Structures are given as structure tokens and as C-alpha cells.
A and B are shown apart, each in its own frame.
Chain A
């Protein structure tokens, strides 16, 4: 085995040690499994929700974002947005939505790999998945500000509404609408998975750092 690969996957645990400290060595792998399941489940659950509240919509208009799709009153909201010259919601984050599920599968594979790697390189494989919920919100925010600030100047009410950025979380106002946005259960689940992964890194370090140190000492 090439030296650099050896370096990446880190020291192996011998059978006797593994049996002796099954909890110590088993925990990181188990936690990563939990995180993988959480991420996969989150694909089927809304990541983000927004209500648009106005008098003539007694049941509110509603938007729901999943990793790969937008649902809710998209058509009606688009219809209203055309007055202020906002582009159709489905034009936003098209790439993100089309690759979202594959990215998530790649994350799951990376986490699977990470459970076999006993060096600090494991952090690199886990980190993208940890950052995912934050990146999701940041991306959403960027799209919303891009859409809200680039209104078609030839739209019917283009000069009646100043460019705006509805808050990605919390409440805002656009025309007669109050916007209320909150994270969906999917995002909470992904965030919880991030937490699990951070905890995993702690247990990972506790399990494999001593082995690494021992290996180095041996070499020295």
C-alpha cells in the first residue's frame, strides 16, 4: 500500500484491541451511521417553510422547500410576483434542486468512507455534511436577495415596490403581505445530524489519536 494512502486511512486496530474496546472503536462508526440515516430521511421532509399572510387569503399562501423541489402555492405566488417583476420561483436554485439528492447521496458515501478512516483526514469527509444546513440557508438567502433585488423594471408595479429581501427566517413585509419563514423539520433533522457528526469527531479523536501517536512513536 502506498505510503500516502496509509497515511490517509490511518492506523488499523488489531483484533484483540477491537474486542477489548468495542465501545471505543464502535462509537464513531455507529454515530456516522445514525447521521447518514438522518440525512437520508431528511430528503423526504420540508427544509424550509414560508407563509404569506394577507387579508384576502384567509388560509394564507404557503411555500415549502425540500432539498429537491418547491411546493405549495407556487403558481399563485408567481402570479402575484409578476406584478412587481419578480421571476418565477421555479427559476431559482434550479441546479441546487436538480443535484440536491445526489449531493446528499455523495455525503452519505463520504460518511461511510469516513468511518473507515482513522486519521484526521476523516474530518474533511465529514465537514461538508456538517456545513450542509448552513449552506442550504445561505443559498436560499442569496437566491431570495437576488430575486428580490433584480425586479423587472417593466413590470406593472415595478415602481410601487422597492427591491427587497424577505428574511430567510423570521418575519418581513412585501406589499400587503407579511412573510413568515421558519425552518422545516428536514432542516432540523439535518442540523441534528451535523451535531451528531461533530460529536462523532470527538469520539473519533478519542479512539484513534492514541493509536496514531503510538504509530508515530514506533516510527520515531
Chain B
């Protein structure tokens, strides 16, 4: 008993000391100081609150990670939320010298995607898609499309590195991708501009006959972390310029929803006094929402009901219609997003020239398909589901609705390009009771700066949206930042959507001066489990396994073969390469293998060779193989290009290429 009291007393004393310590700290810095700074800098209470919601002290990690496309930078960017700090770029289609991507490593991956074998060294990344299990992000893989050359890349989220690029054999450009089916069985890539397939030539006068639309279903082999081209197929679609798409889930599992832009099949020609594309393709009041039954399509493919085009299996439009896997229904013209609600029961379409979002009911779509409730057929014979019989609701949200995301609380959010605002509105049906406002009504419009394209809500396109944060990916920043010459950064704005009703403030402006993110997905950080070093020394990231030929410590050597090949087995560790002298003869073919034998986190080494245009980033444990022809004689100091240690500058060696006689 006595002891207990003593311990209590000690506890009290400790508590007092702690309080004393904090009050000492507080007296040094008080809220008065905060107020003084706020006054000096002209900050309002709302500003201070926004700062408090977003400021992330040193060492504190973000709650969410956003993967944003990089537009014509051809990369992906990872951004932490709520701090809105760029964590890193992930090189995909465009060579990137910090990661060494395309300068010795990743060259084969980039080359896989060369259209017609032509070295296209950039990409136009648009819509990233995180891999999903049961319709929820699982944090394993990330897919990204390239609009300019219709390619799809696979990024492994163990090491955040691109593993594969597949080139679509049919279409030249894509935009309706990437989207994954709920268990990532398929990565969907919808084409964009109609073309004669396989890079054929056809005059534009033969548009309706020769030009085609498509959707490609790339089979994903999760175990191998690769798209399996041999199990992938495409479906022929009318030449309507298919656009954004989404995979159905839960109530709509098995369906793909895909917008289209040019159901007029306008062919432009402003120089000949024809209506330009912008007018010709906007003539009709409605375009077509494509509704594709991919479960059935998969069965058709497996049953061999395909044509081989460019060596790729394609379900022809004729087969698609005969088997009833394709329907369309009118949608507001110039649509962008088609977004499936969390339970899969509603499909939201926004057309930029219609102030409403249009909500379709999956139940009604299924019924209309079953009852053949058609309002007609298009000129290719595609049945048009009667608009009124599949419509659930229309909500007037404002001008230029573009893309919709969902919250956990019965709200949907739609970007308004022309209004430069983000609208919050309520869903009806079973979501109705979740929000205090009546069903299908506009609740709030928060202005954003300016010209918002896509928006991203934390896990906002999954079966269980998190809400909390919304990022508005604005195309123009105009006056938001110091003018960086005539090329201004994009403005990514963070909105706090954690409160109900009209409370939905912008709390951070993030200039993105390295690319133009189109779409982004935001995943809870704890769903990701990235490696901080490669699992073993001698790891080849391209195959995600130990490379038997990787140089090992103590086994460094230079091997000259009779055929004029020189094989270099080199290790890198703070602060030296081994070997340091490499002598070859002009004309030799050099196969240079290097292993970073470090095990410490962040002990990355670079490997850079002048003239030969080589730079590689070697993360701890990584091994790389770089090949080149030593065609230029001379003395070339190579060095570690990543400041690794106090003796980093000394981490170098000489490549000596003896002139041929």
C-alpha cells in the first residue's frame, strides 16, 4: 500500500515536470506569435485553418498517395496528401535521366512500345489506374495509358518502376483507358480517334467504311506482373471516337461503359470550308454511351469467335451485334467522364455542353437490354436503348461538367470546366439517406482556379470511397503563382470535403510545373507496401528476381571474348566502383554489368558515362546490364552521378577506348 502511494506520488511529479516542460516551450512560442505572423503576412483565420490541415512537419508522413498522370511529360507523379508534396516521378514513356530510364536501363521496356518500330521517346499519359481486388485499390500495380501512340504501361508498386509497355496493334491513339475490371482481370484501353487499323492508309472520304473504333481488353497476369498479350483481345466499335470509360462493379459487374465524341462521324476540313471538327463533332445534341458486356465478350473470345487483325484477336462489330454484347444509349454531347457509383448501380455521365450530370440506372439498363427497349438502331445496326427508360435522374450542376467522383457519404462531386468550380451533389436511391440534403440536388459549388479538368477524391472511384480530400486538377493557373515565363504551371488544388453541406473549402494550391496531370487516383498510404531497398543484392528490377549473372563482391572482373565482346562485372559501394580502370578497343561491343551492393536505405549510386549517353540509377541491391558499342576512341571519366557520400566525387573511374589501328 505504502509503495503504491509512493509510485503515485512519483507519477504526479513526472506529470508536473512534463507540464512544466511544455509550458516552458509554450511560453517561448504562443498563439500570439501565430497571430503576429498571420497579421504580418495578411493571413485570415481560414488561411491558418487551411495551413493547419495541410502542414506536415518534417518526418511526418502523408495519409494518402496520389498517382497523377504527367500528360505530355509522359511520366507519372506521386504526390502526398494532405501535404501536396511531390514525392517522385515515375518514368514511363519518356526517358528520364534521374532514374536513368532510357539511358541504359529501361531501354528495352521503352522500345517494346515503339509504334511501327519507330523510336517515339515521349508519351502523353492520361488516366492512371491502380490495380483492384473486389473493386477496391490493392496497392500492387499501376497502369497508365499513352494517348498519342495508344500504349499501356504496367508499373510495379513494389519499386515504383515501369515493367512493361504494350503497343496497341490496332489503333493509333487511345483515351478511354486505363481502367481495370474489379479484380484487375483486364486493363481496358478504349481507342480515341478513329483510324484504319494497323497504320493502314485510307483517304478520309472513306471514313465510314475504313476508319474504325475499338476497345481493347488487356489480360493482366498478376502473378507475373505483366499484361499477357496472348490472352488479350479487342472489340470493334463504330468510328465514334470512343472516349473515357469505366468498368462496372458490383451491380454493374461485367460491363464496360464508354463515352464517345463524334457520333456525327464528322471528317473536318476547315480549309475546304467544311465545318471544323469542333463544330462537326458537336452537331448532334447527344452522343452515344457504349454499354459493353465484357463477360460475354470474354466467352466469345475464348470460343474463338474472333478475327485475327494485325495478329490480334478482334471481335468484329458484326459478331458483337449478333451476340448482343454491344448497346448504346444517348448521352449529352461532348462527354468526358463516365463514372460508376460505388455500388455499381448508377452510371454518371457529364457532357461538357450540357449543364446537367446525367445518371443512368444499371437496373433499368439491364431491363431495357432484356426487353429490347430500343429507340432505334444506329447506322451500323447497334441497338440504341431508349434514353428515358434507362435514365435515373439529371441534376443541374453548372456549366461544363466534366468528370465525377464519389464520397462515402452519399455525395458525388463533378468538376465544372466552364464554371471553374467543383460541384457537390447528392445521389439518390440507397445513397439518399447518407446525406442530409434531398436526393439528386446540387449542394455546393466551390470555385477553383482555373478550368478544372478531372477531379480525384480519395479512393473516389472504388466500391468504398474514403472522401476527406478532393484534388481539383486545374488546367490553368493564370495568376495563382509567380509567372514562370509564358509557360505556367498547372494548379492542383486540394479541397477538404470531410464536412457535410456547403463546407468544402480549397485548402492548398500546388503548382505542377513538370507536366500536365489529367487524371489521378488517390490511395490510402497504408495500402502501399513499397520496398525501401531491393530484397537482395544483385536484384534485377525488370524480372523482380535475383540475376544469376549479377556482379558480386569479390568477383569483379573484365572478360574479353574472342568475338570482340567485353564483359565488365562491376560493383558499386560507397565510395568506389570496382574495377576502376576499363580498357577496351574501339569497335568492341561492351556489356557492362553493375551491382550496387549497398544494403542501407537510400544508398543509391548513379553510373554515368560521357559521350556514350549513359546514366543509370542503381538503388541498393539493384543490378543493371548496359550494352553499347565502343565506337568512339578516347579517355572517358565515368562517375557516380548521385551524391552518395563524403567521398562521392572520388567515386569514379576511367573508360579508356584505345583507337583502332
Contact = CB atoms under 8 A, between A and B. Distances in A.
Interface of A: 58, 75-76, 79-80, 83, 156-157
A156 B647 CA distance: 8
A76 B601 CA distance: 10
A220 to B, nearest CB: 57
Nearest to B650: A156
Contact of B600 (A76, A83, A157): A76
Interface of B: 59, 573-575, 598-600, 646-647, 650
A87 to B, nearest CB: 16
11 contacts: A58-B59, A76-B600, A79-B573, A79-B574, A83-B574, A83-B575, A83-B646, A156-B647, A156-B650, A157-B646, A157-B647
A156 B599 CA distance: 21
A79 B647 contact: no
Given A58-B59, A83-B574, 13 more contacts: A76-B599, A76-B600, A79-B573, A79-B574, A79-B598, A79-B600, A80-B574, A83-B575, A83-B647, A156-B575, A156-B647, A157-B646, A157-B647
**Max chain A CB contacts within 10 Å: which of B575, B598, B599, B600?**
B600
Contacts of B647: 83, 156-157
Taking chain B's interface residues, is the majority helix, strand, or loop, or is none over half, making it mixed? loop
Contacts of B600: 76, 79
Contacts, number: 18
A106 to B, nearest CB: 36
Nearest to A176: B646
A76 B598 CA distance: 8
Contacts of B598: 79
Nearest to A56: B602
Contacts of B573: 79
A157 B574 CA distance: 13
**Max chain B CB contacts within 10 Å: which of A58, A79, A157?**
A79
A75 B59 CA distance: 26
A72 to B, nearest CB: 12
Top 9 nearest A-B pairs by Cβ distance?
A: A76-B600, A75-B599, A156-B647, A79-B574, A79-B573, A76-B599, A156-B575, A83-B647, A79-B598
Contacts of B574: 79-80, 83
Nearest to B599: A75
A76 to B, nearest CB: 5
Contacts of A76: 599-600
A51 to B, nearest CB: 16
B254 to A, nearest CB: 48
Contacts of B646: 83, 157
A83 B59 CA distance: 29
Contacts of B59: 58
Nearest to A83: B647
A157 B646 CA distance: 10
Nearest to B59: A58
Contacts of A83: 574-575, 646-647
A212 to B, nearest CB: 46
**Max chain A CB contacts within 10 Å: which of B574, B598, B647?**
B574
A58 B600 CA distance: 12
A68 to B, nearest CB: 23
A76 B645 CA distance: 13
A61 to B, nearest CB: 9
A58 B650 CA distance: 26
A20 B599 CA distance: 65
Nearest to B647: A156
B49 to A, nearest CB: 31
B59 to A, nearest CB: 8
Contacts of A58: 59
A56 to B, nearest CB: 9
A156 B598 CA distance: 18
A142 B289 CA distance: 81
A79 B598 CA distance: 9
B293 to A, nearest CB: 53
Contacts of B599: 75-76
Nearest to B573: A79
A83 B647 CA distance: 9
B649 to A, nearest CB: 12
A79 B600 CA distance: 10
A75 B650 CA distance: 21
Nearest to B553: A75
A79 B574 CA distance: 7
B3 to A, nearest CB: 24
Nearest to B574: A79
